[in-house]
C-alpha cells in the first residue's frame, strides 16, 4: 500500500488522501472505516486484486474516487453523510428496503442514508461526493431533511449536478493551490445546493401510509401523483384518476388514513415545496410572489397567512434567512 503525503498549503483545512495496493484485507480495513462494511465477502476476479482511492475533503464536503477490482458482497451503512455516487466502470447492484437497483454508468444517485443496504460490486470504479448531513440540512433549513435513496435525477437535475461538478471539482481537488475558508464553504454550498435541486427528496408521506392492501396502494399512487404534479393545475378529479379511484373514493380514503381532504393534501404539498424554494433561494434574484405563483398560489395575502400558520414565520422571513 502506498500513501501519498499531504501537500495542502498552510491554512487550507482540506485533507488529501491517496492510497493503493493489492492486499484485499488492507482494502477492506480502509473502506470499512468510511462505509461500514459488515461481513464482507470477497471473490477474486483476476490473479492479482487491485484497489485504489483518492479523496480531498473537509468537514463539509469530500470528493472521492475509488476502485476495487474484486467481486465484493457486503452490508453497508452511512449515518452522518449524504453520499452521491456514480459508476465509472464495472457493475454494482444495491438492495435497499427490499428493492434492488443496478447502478448505471455515469448516472449519479444518492445512496441510502442512516439505513443498512446490501451491495454487490464487481470490478467497480466509482466517483463519490460526500456531503455532511448536518451541513446540507442547514442549507435546506430542515433538521430532518433527507434524500430519497437510489432515485436518479430528472434531465434538468442531471444538468444541474453535472454543471456544478464541472465548475468546481478541479479547483477543489487541486491541493497545491490553497483555498480560503470562505471559498471552501462556497464550493461546499454549491455542491449541497445542486444536490438539493437535482435529487428527489425523501417523501414523508411514504411512512404515513401503512398497510399493503389495494386501498393503500391506490392511496400511495394518489400521493405520488400530487408530489410529482403539485406545481400543475390539478385538483380532486385528476388526483382520483391517477389513483384509480372515484373522487368520492379518494376523499374517503384520504379521510380514513390521513385525516385530510384532497384540498388539504394539495395545499400542504405546495406549501412544503414553496418553503423549500424560499429557504434555498437567492433573495436578490427571487421574490415571494414568484415562488407563490410557481406553486399555484394566486393570492399573495392568503398564501402568506397560510404559510405563517403552517411554519410560524412569513414567507419573506424564510427568504431572508438564506
pLDDT given at position 248: 95
Do residues 66 and 125 lie in contact, with contact meaning Cβ atoms separated by under 8 Å? yes
Q: How far is CA 109 from CA 83, 119, 152, 236, 292, in A?
A: 8, 14, 5, 33, 30
Global confidence as pTM: 0.68
> CA angle 237-301-290, nearest 5°?
75
For the residues 56-80, what does the mean pLDDT come to? 96
DSSP string covering 69-126: EEEEEEEE--SSEEEEEEEEEEEEEEEETTEEEE--BT--EEPP-SS-EEEEEEEEEE
Contact between 315 and 274 under an 8 Å Cβ cutoff? The reply is: yes
User: Which CATH number fits the domain 2-198, given the four candidates 2.30.110.10, 2.60.120.10, 2.60.40.10, 1.10.3720.10?
Assistant: 2.60.120.10
For the chain, the average pLDDT equals 89
CA 178 to chain centre: 29
- Distance from C-alpha of 215 to C-alpha of 164, rounded to nearest angstrom: 42
Give the pLDDT score at 44.
Answer: 95
Give the Å distances, CA to CA, from 276 to 210, 236, 238.
Answer: 26, 24, 25
C-alpha cell at 103: 447502478
Please determine, for residue 255, whether its predicted confidence score (pLDDT) is greater than 50. Answer: yes
* 142-169 confidence digits (pLDDT tens): 888 888 888 888 888 899 999 999 999 9
Instruction: Give me the percent of the chain exceeding a pLDDT of 90.
Output: 63
Q: Please check the confidence at residue 242 and state whether its pLDDT lies above 70.
A: yes
pLDDT number for residue 213: 74
* Banded model confidence at residue 205, pLDDT cuts 50, 70, 90: low
- Who wins on pLDDT, 126 or 33? 126
Q: Which residue did the predictor score with more confidence, 120 or 282?
A: 120
Q: Which of 158, 293, 295 is nearest to 229 (CA)?
A: 295
pLDDT at 206: 59
Residue ranges of alpha helices (H) inside 116-154 are: 133-140
CA 197 vs CA 158, 169, 192, 214: distances in Å: 10, 18, 9, 33
Asked if 262 and 251 touch (Cβ cutoff 8 Å), the reply is yes
Q: State mean pLDDT over 225-249.
A: 92
The three cell numbers of residue 269 are 404539498
Q: Quick one: cell of 226?
A: 400530487
* 7, pLDDT greater than 90: no
Does 72 or 206 have the greater pLDDT score?
72
Sequence ranges of the chain with CATH classification 2.60.120.10: 2-198
Mean pLDDT of 6-24: 82
8 Å CB contact between 80 and 35: no
Nearest to residue 265, comparing CAs of 235, 292, 245?
235
For 205-320, give the CATH class: mainly alpha
Indicate where the chain has its CATH 1.10.10.60 domain(s).
205-320
Query: Which three-class secondary structure state does DSSP give residue 230?
Result: coil
What are the pLDDT digits (tens) for 273-312? Answer: 898 888 877 777 788 999 999 999 989 999 999 999 999 9
Q: In this structure, what C-alpha cell is assigned to residue 154?
A: 430528472
pLDDT at 322: 46
Helices and strands in the chain, H and E counts: 12, 9
Integer CA distances (angstroms), 95 to 44, 45, 76, 150, in order: 22, 22, 10, 10
Q: How confident is the model at residue 200 (pLDDT cuts 50, 70, 90)?
A: confident
Q: Which residue has the cell 471539482?
A: 169
Lowest mean pLDDT among 114-128, 146-160, 232-246: 146-160
Residue 139 has pLDDT above 80, yes or no: yes
| pLDDT at 48 (0 to 100) | 92
Query: Residue 4's pLDDT band (boundaries 50, 70, 90)?
Result: very low
3-state class (DSSP) for residue 243? helix
The span from the CA of 113 to the CA of 134, in Å, is: 13
Amino acid at each position: 500500500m502506498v500513501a501519498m503525503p499531504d501537500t495542502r498549503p498552510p491554512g487550507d483545512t482540506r485533507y488529501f488522501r491517496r492510497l493503493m495496493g493489492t492486499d484485499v484485507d488492507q482494502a477492506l480495513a480502509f473502506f470499512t472505516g468510511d462505509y461500514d462494511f459488515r461481513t464482507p465477502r470477497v471473490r477474486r476476479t483476476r490473479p492479482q486484486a487491485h484497489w485504489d482511492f483518492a479523496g480531498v475533503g473537509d468537514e463539509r464536503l469530500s470528493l472521492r474516487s475509488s476502485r476495487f477490482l474484486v467481486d465484493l458482497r457486503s452490508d453497508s451503512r452511512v449515518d452522518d453523510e449524504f453520499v452521491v455516487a456514480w459508476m465509472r466502470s464495472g457493475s454494482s447492484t444495491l438492495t435497499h428496503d427490499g428493492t434492488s437497483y443496478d447502478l448505471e454508468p455515469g448516472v449519479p444517485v444518492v445512496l441510502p442514508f442512516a439505513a443498512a443496504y446490501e451491495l454487490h460490486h464487481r470490478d467497480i470504479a466509482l466517483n463519490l461526493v460526500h456531503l455532511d448531513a448536518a451541513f446540507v440540512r442547514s442549507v435546506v433549513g430542515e433538521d430532518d431533511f433527507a434524500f430519497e435513496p437510489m432515485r436518479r435525477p430528472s434531465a434538468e437535475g442531471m444538468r444541474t449536478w453535472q454543471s456544478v461538478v464541472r465548475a468546481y471539482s478541479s479547483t477543489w481537488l487541486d491541493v497545491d493551490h490553497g483555498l480560503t475558508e470562505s471559498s471552501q464553504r462556497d464550493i461546499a454550498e454549491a455542491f449541497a445546493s445542486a444536490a438539493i435541486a437535482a435529487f428527489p427528496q425523501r417523501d414523508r408521506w411514504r411512512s404515513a401510509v401503512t398497510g399493503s392492501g389495494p386501498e393503500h396502494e391506490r392511496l400511495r399512487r394518489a400521493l405520488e401523483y400530487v408530489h410529482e404534479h403539485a406545481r400543475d393545475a390539478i385538483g380532486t378529479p385528476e388526483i382520483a384518476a391517477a389513483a384509480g379511484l372515484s373522487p368520492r373514493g379518494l376523499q374517503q380514503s384520504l379521510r380514513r388514513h390521513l385525516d385530510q381532504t384532497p384540498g388539504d393534501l394539495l395545499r400542504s404539498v405546495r406549501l412544503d415545496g414553496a418553503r423549500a424554494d424560499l429557504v434555498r433561494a437567492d433573495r436578490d434574484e427571487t421574490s415571494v410572489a414568484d415562488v407563490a405563483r410557481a406553486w399555484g398560489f394566486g393570492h399573495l395575502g392568503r398564501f402568506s397567512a397560510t404559510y405563517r400558520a403552517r411554519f410560524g414565520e412569513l414567507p419573506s422571513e424564510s427568504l431572508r434567512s438564506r
